[in-house]
Every structure is written in structure tokens, then in C-alpha cells.
């Protein structure tokens, strides 16, 4: 009997589940549904948003092609050689868990025997008045291009005696990575447009009293020192209350003017969860899972990644919304899909904190993993090797190496 496995979301979690099951080649057919044609590699978006591609000065547009494929890759191409996988570009509107049917935007429905939900997250504006209308998010490739273009245009169009102010809402991982890289981009744009370098500044506005609230004190201190050295300014303990044209108002009533405002301060479970009837939710609209990563209360539905809520029993805290968590969950969910088909007992998911690398401008990053702490160029190089390893896992080494080498050329030019 052929088992129909439907995976909603071709992101980190969904693609990893599909790749593992595709290699398995038992009596299964896998359908990966995504509303976008592309798989997005989010950790490179800050590079896209700060990439200097001097197209107007006659350089080859190939730089843009390389930049694009370092951050987004066609899902069809990822599964080109997987004959038991079908990729469907469509938005999932809902799921009938009783009839085992997924409803798609084009009025089609799709039957599943086993369903994996991995539809990710979306930008959370926390109902801050004016934020969604005025600020630029950094949540997909096109957001990253919009950010890059807005900054480019500010340098091109604003008078040379105007101090350009770029404000980043949120001093979390995305905000810090972006700020570090932005400083180099601002310097380049100042040179190109004949502006004094000190006539442009970048400020992080953070509601808490520290950067990188979820990281250790060592990471927080090092990251702040690094960004300060690069020239980033900070505003702590004063959340943004209102956003107007070219001005944000903080909780204490003070105002900060901006030319470009980028919002990186939060994500929440994606819009699909709102239309999932009968499932159990935790922490807003995150899907509650059992210890085998099944979406409660359904036995043939698994959940992975940002749209789910999972507790690390060793710390009692919920797992962060990161690619590494989504990938680990995907490995366990794929294994449990197989076990479910063979009617074997399911594997218990054991969350663990593998640590992280945070790049902070130029060839500098911080690594913290299993008690090891390294600042400098080594973690920066390691991050790029991790990226290569990721692409190799879904494209094979040959394709991945070509793509990785070309994108590194663009990034290094920017560094």
C-alpha cells in the first residue's frame, strides 16, 4: 500500500523531513506544499540586505545571481532527483483533520495518510501603532532586497549635509547580525556618494536592558563591545510605543528620528495556525506537541519548527525559533513517520541546545557551544562551513560547493 505523506512548508523543517523520507524509498509518496517557489536560507538574509552590488558601475549582474542563490533556492530543484517527491506551489488554507484532507488556495484538496506541519513563522509587530505600516521587516528575501534598496536610496537622495539615521528595532540575533554588517555597507555607500562617513549612523533600539537577551552574559558583553567598536549606537530599556513618518516615540515619551527603520524584534507562529481547528495551542498560536512531536490530539499529524511549541525538559524553557531546532525536530519527526507506517513504537524527541555562532560584521563572529566560547575569525569561518554542510545535505556536495563558493565571493567582497 502506498502511503501519502503531505508536508506543509518547504522551509528548514519541511525540506529536511522530505529529504530523509525521500531517501528511504519505501512505499511512500511525499508532497511538499509551499506558498513560495523557493526554500529560504534565512541566516544569509542580513548579507543580502547589506550587499554592495555595484551594478551601476558596470560590474557583472552575475553578483546578483550568486547573492540570490545563496539565500533562496527553487524547491523543485532541491527535489529534482527524488522521484517519490512532488513539489506543489500553493498556499494551504486549512486542514480537515477528521477526513485527512489539506485545503489549498486553488480550491484543490489533497488527501494525506500522514501530515507534517512546518509552515514557519511571520513577523510579530506586537501591535505597536504604526510599526507594520512604516517599518521594513527582514523576514524573507524580498524584504532583504527592500531593506537594501531603502538604505541605498537614502544615501543617493538625501542631501549630503543630512545625517542619515538608520534605526533597527530589536537587539536580538537578527538585529545584531544586521547592524554589524550594515556598518560596512554604510561606509561603502558614503564613499560612493561622496559623503563623510560620520554623516550616517545606525542605532539599535532594544526594549530590554541588554542585547541578545536569550544568550549568556559573555555573548551579550562581547557582542555589545564589538558593535560599539564598529560604531553602532544603542538605546536600551525603552520600548517603542508609536511609529510615525521619520520618527519613533519611546515609552518614556522621547523621540528618535529615522530615515530608514528596520524591524527585527519578533516572530510568531505563521498565519496558517489560525485556521487549524481542533488542535491544541500553546503560547499564542504555537502548536502543542506530544513527546513524539505529534500535533495534539492527532495521531497522524507531526509538527516541526517555528510553528510549534516544545519544552526543553532539562531547562523548563520553550525551545527557541531557530533553524537548528527545526532541523533536529525534522530528523525525529521523519523517523517517527517511518515508525508509524511500520506500527512501531515512536521515538521520544530529546531537545538539546547545540549552541550557536553569531556573525557581527566583517570576518568576526562569536561561538558558544557546550561551554566553549570563541570570538573572532575562527567562528566566522566555521559559520561558512556550517552553511556549506547544510546546502550539501539538501543539494549534494558538488552543487552545494559551487553555490557556496560563489556566494562567499560576494560576501567577502562586502566584508
Ligand X SMILES: Cc1cc2nc3c(=O)[nH]c(=O)nc-3n(C[C@H](O)[C@H](O)[C@H](O)COP(=O)(O)OP(=O)(O)OC[C@H]3O[C@@H](n4cnc5c(N)ncnc54)[C@H](O)[C@@H]3O)c2cc1C
Q: Which is nearer to ligand X, 35 or 52 (CB)?
A: 35
List own/partner pairs for 282-290 with CB under 8 A and 24 or more apart: 282/309, 282/318, 283/309, 283/318, 287/117, 289/349
Q: What torsion, rounded to 10 degrees, do the Cα atoms 149, 170, 186, 217 define? A: -150
Find the helix packing angle between 377-395 and 397-414, rounded to 10°.
Answer: 150
Q: What torsion, rounded to 10 degrees, do the Cα atoms 411, 263, 11, 306 define? A: 130
Q: Which is nearer to ligand X, 178 or 298 (CB)?
A: 178
Q: How far apart are CA 118 and CA 133, in angstroms?
A: 28
Q: Which is nearer to ligand X, 9 or 195 (CB)?
A: 9
* Shortest distance (Å) from residue 244 CB to ligand X: 25
* Shortest distance (Å) from residue 256 CB to ligand X: 23
Q: Which is nearer to ligand X, 87 or 92 (CB)?
A: 92
Q: Which is nearer to ligand X, 12 or 302 (CB)?
A: 12
* Shortest distance (Å) from residue 304 CB to ligand X: 6
* Shortest distance (Å) from residue 30 CB to ligand X: 15
Q: Which three cell numbers stand for residue 153?
A: 536610496
- C-alpha triplet 115, 121, 126: angle, nearest 5°: 140
Give the residue closest to ligand X by C-beta. Answer: 11
Q: Helix (H, G, I), strand (E, B), or coil: what is residue 414?
A: helix
Q: How far apart are CA 318 and CA 313, in angstroms?
A: 9
* Shortest distance (Å) from residue 94 CB to ligand X: 9
* Lookup result for grid cell 524509498: 25
Please report, for residues 129, 139, 292, 318, the alpha-carbon distance to residue 245 in angstroms, rounded to integers and kept in the order given: 12, 22, 48, 36
* Lookup result for grid cell 520553550: 318
Q: Which is nearer to ligand X, 63 or 306 (CB)?
A: 306
* Shortest distance (Å) from residue 71 CB to ligand X: 10
Q: Which is nearer to ligand X, 168 or 207 (CB)?
A: 168
Q: Where are the beta strands (DSSP E) in 170-229?
A: 200-205
* Shortest distance (Å) from residue 89 CB to ligand X: 9
Q: Which is nearer to ligand X, 92 or 340 (CB)?
A: 92
Rg from Cα positions in the chain: 22
* Shortest distance (Å) from residue 7 CB to ligand X: 10
Find the helix packing angle between 141-157 and 173-192, rounded to 10°.
Answer: 40
Q: Which is nearer to ligand X, 178 or 258 (CB)?
A: 178
Q: Which is nearer to ligand X, 248 or 360 (CB)?
A: 360
Q: Helix (H, G, I), strand (E, B), or coil: what is residue 173?
A: helix
Query: Using omega within 30 degrees of 0 as the cis cutoff, is the peptide bond preceding 179 cis?
Result: no
* Shortest distance (Å) from residue 50 CB to ligand X: 12
Check: CB of residue 361 under 8 Å from CB of residue 23: no
Which residue, 309, 267, 302, 271, is CA-closest to 287? 309
Q: Residues 6 or more apart from 350 whose CB is under 8 A from it?
A: none
* Shortest distance (Å) from residue 145 CB to ligand X: 13
Q: Which residues bind ligand X (CB under 6 A)?
A: 8-14, 33-36, 40, 42-43, 45, 91-92, 118-120, 138-139, 174, 270, 272, 305-306, 321-324, 326
Amino acid at each position: 500500500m502506498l502511503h501519502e505523506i503531505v508536508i506543509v512548508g518547504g522551509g528548514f523543517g519541511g525540506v529536511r523531513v522530505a529529504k530523509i523520507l525521500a531517501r528511504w524509498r519505501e512505499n511512500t509518496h511525499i508532497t511538499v506544499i509551499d506558498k513560495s517557489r523557493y526554500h529560504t536560507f534565512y541566516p544569509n538574509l542580513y548579507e543580502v540586505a547589506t550587499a554592495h552590488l555595484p551594478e551601476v558601475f558596470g560590474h557583472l549582474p552575475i553578483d546578483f545571481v550568486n547573492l540570490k542563490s545563496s539565500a533562496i533556492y527553487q524547491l523543485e530543484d532541491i527535489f529534482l532527483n527524488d522521484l517519490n517527491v512532488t513539489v506543489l506551489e500553493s498556499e494551504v488554507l486549512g486542514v480537515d483533520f477528521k477526513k485527512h484532507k489539506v485545503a489549498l488556495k486553488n480550491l484543490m484538496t489533497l488527501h494525506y495518510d500522514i501530515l507534517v506541519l512546518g509552515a514557519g513563522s511571520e513577523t510579530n509587530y506586537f501591535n505597536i501603532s504604526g510599526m507594520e505600516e512604516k517599518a521594513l521587516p527582514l523576514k524573507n528575501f524580498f524584504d532583504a532586497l527592500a531593506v537594501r534598496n531603502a538604505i541605498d536610496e537614502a544615501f543617493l537622495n538625501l542631501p549630503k549635509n543630512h545625517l542619515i539615521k538608520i534605526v533597527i528595532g530589536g537587539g536580538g540575533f537578527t538585529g545584531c547580525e544586521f547592524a554589524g554588517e550594515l556598518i560596512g555597507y554604510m561606509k561603502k555607500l558614503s564613499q560612493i556618494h561622496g559623503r563623510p562617513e560620520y554623516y550616517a549612523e545606525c542605532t539599535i533600539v532594544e526594549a530590554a536592558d541588554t542585547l541578545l537577551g536569550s544568550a549568556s552574559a559573555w555573548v551579550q558583553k562581547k557582542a555589545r563591545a564589538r558593535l560599539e567598536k564598529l560604531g553602532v549606537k544603542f538605546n536600551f530599556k525603552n520600548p517603542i510605543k508609536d511609529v510615525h513618518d521619520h520618527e519613533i516615540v519611546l515609552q518614556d515619551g522621547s523621540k528618535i528620528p529615522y530615515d530608514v527603520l528596520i524591524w527585527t524584534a519578533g516572530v510568531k507562529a505563521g498565519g496558517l495556525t489560525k485556521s487549524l481547528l481542533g488542535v491544541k495551542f500553546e503560547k499564542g498560536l504555537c502548536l502543542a506537541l506530544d513527546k513524539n512531536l505529534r500535533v495534539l490530539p492527532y495521531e497522524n499529524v507531526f509538527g516541526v519548527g517555528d510553528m510549534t511549541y516544545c519544552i526543553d525538559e532539562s531547562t523548563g524553557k520553550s525551545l527557541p525559533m531557530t533553524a537548528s531546532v527545526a532541523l533536529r525536530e525534522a530528523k525525529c519527526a521523519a523517523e517517527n513517520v517511518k515508525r508509524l507506517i511500520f506500527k512501531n513504537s515512536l521515538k521520544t524527541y530529546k531537545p538539546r541546545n547545540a549552541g550557536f555562532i553569531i556573525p557581527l560584521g566583517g570576518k568576526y563572529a562569536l561561538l558558544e557551544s557546550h561551554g566553549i566560547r570563541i570570538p573572532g575569525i575562527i567562528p566566522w569561518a566555521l559559520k561558512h562551513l556550517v552553511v556549506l554542510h547544510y546546502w550539501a545535505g539538501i543539494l549534494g556536495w558538488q552543487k552545494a560547493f559551487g553555490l557556496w563558493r560563489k556566494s562567499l565571493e560576494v560576501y567577502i567582497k562586502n566584508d
